[in-house]
Amino acid sequence: MTTVRKEAFGRMPPEDGGGEVEKFVLQSESVRVEIVSFGCIITTLETKDRDGQFSDVVLGFDTLEGYTRGHPFFGCVVGRVANRIAKGKFSLDGKEYQLFVNKGPNSLHGGAKGFDKFLWSPEVLPNGVRFFRLSPDGEEGYPGDLKVWVTYTLSGGELAINYQAQTSKTTPINLTNHAYFNLAGQGSQNVYDHKISIEADSYLPVDDTLIPTGEVASVQGTGFDLRQPVELGKHFQKFNLDGFDHNFCLRQGQDRRLVARVLHPPTGRTMEVHTTQPGIQFYTGNHLDGSLKGKGGATYPKHSAFCLETQNWPDAVNKPNFPNVLLHPGEEYNHTTWLVFNTA
């Protein structure tokens, strides 16, 4: 049985139009999650360890101000296109589009003001909450009026995130949630003792600005072979890795499939990721530097969290050999990701 309740979380600054930000608390016997209408952000996700003790396993802030001041996309929905587009450029039907460039020479996570920086309209459901917004034609340089619905539902230990969209003009679209996890509890100093596996036979090598080169490389015999569980700290040392920020290529298909599993042996917490998406970006918080004060005054140093962002492949709009990222009028974008929390 899931309960859903609504609370106030704060007001948007006047320069961002004011507006009430609401928080929705979804609670089952084993998981408690808090999601706010600003950026559809997961601000809290509490799950049990093997002794039945709850801990909050996502990074974030105690107040709205933390999220409006700028942060590395903690817990939010990113779009219109998650991840990177090379030089912020793409061509559609003979027309070139220029997006805002906000990460080195590239456009990242929707540009200067992506979906994470807007107030969405919420609707309470029996076991969750649905958020809606209309991204107008030309927003951040993207074509078409895009209607977007993001639905969070909780059932037992399973949090489902469904993304739907419809457009008035052909547009690239790639939506994901950017939660940062630490199964030891947010504020823990690293994720080196986590064991992870990713069901991917190939990954995308990147250039020095993290744009895929276009090659789809086998993980066999490399540090990217995570098909069997590895302990992250030891794995980094063995392969002399500074961390991961790479797309892993998943088996194609619209069906739900298990794509990643994380275990934290000291607490017994486990997290499984299931999705309909063609890729998963595995990121190990390489750019966290301890400068942000998070929940309860915690600091978040490098490698203090991991992200498993289910999505299309980065820069797919410029790579004909990558999965299709275009949504056409009359079609519906519809993807779901399931996060399943348990104990071992």
250-260 confidence digits (pLDDT tens) = 998 879 999 99
Q: Please tell me the distance from the alpha carbon of residue 264 to that of residue 193, in angstroms, as a whole number.
A: 7
Mean pLDDT of the chain: 96
What pLDDT band is residue 115 in, cutting at 50, 70 and 90? very high
Single out the catalytic residue among 178, 235, 274, 303: 178
Q: Is the pLDDT of residue 335 over 90?
A: yes
178 in a labelled binding site: yes
160 in a labelled binding site: no
112-128: b or e for each residue (b if 16 or more CB lie within 10 Å)? eebbbbbbbebeeeebb
The pLDDT tens digits for 222-249 are 999 999 999 999 999 999 999 999 999 9
Q: Is the pLDDT of residue 15 over 90?
A: no
179 in a labelled binding site: yes
pLDDT of residue 233: 98
The Cβ of residue 215 has, within 10 Å, a number of other Cβ atoms equal to: 11
With CA atoms as reference, report the closest residue to 173 among 327, 36, 57: 327
Locus of tokens 């823990």: 188
Confirm whether 335 is a catalytic residue: no
Q: Are 20 and 8 in contact (CB under 8 A)?
A: yes
Q: Which residues does 202 contact at the CB level (< 8 Å), separation at least 6?
A: 216, 217, 218, 219, 248, 249
86 in a labelled binding site: no
245 in a labelled binding site: yes
Indicate whether this model's pTM tops 0.95.
yes
Single out the catalytic residue among 22, 34, 140, 309: 309
Percent of the chain topping pLDDT 90: 93
pLDDT of residue 34: 98
192 in a labelled binding site: no
pLDDT of residue 252: 84
Q: Please tell me the distance from the alpha carbon of residue 32 to that of residue 4, in angstroms, as a whole number.
A: 10
Q: Are 197 and 227 in contact (CB under 8 A)?
A: yes
Confirm whether 178 is a catalytic residue: yes
Name the residue range of residue 186's domain.
3-343
Q: How many domains does the chain have?
A: 1
Q: Please tell me the distance from the alpha carbon of residue 328 to that of residue 15, in angstroms, as a whole number.
A: 34
Find the mean pLDDT for residues 108-119. Answer: 92
pLDDT of residue 228: 98
Which uninterrupted H or E stretch holds 18? none
**CATH number for the domain including 99?**
2.70.98.10
> 85 in helix, strand or coil?
strand
Q: Is the pLDDT of residue 267 over 90?
A: yes
Find the mean pLDDT for residues 317-332. Answer: 97
Burial class (CB in 10 A: 0-12, 13-18, 19+), 50: middle
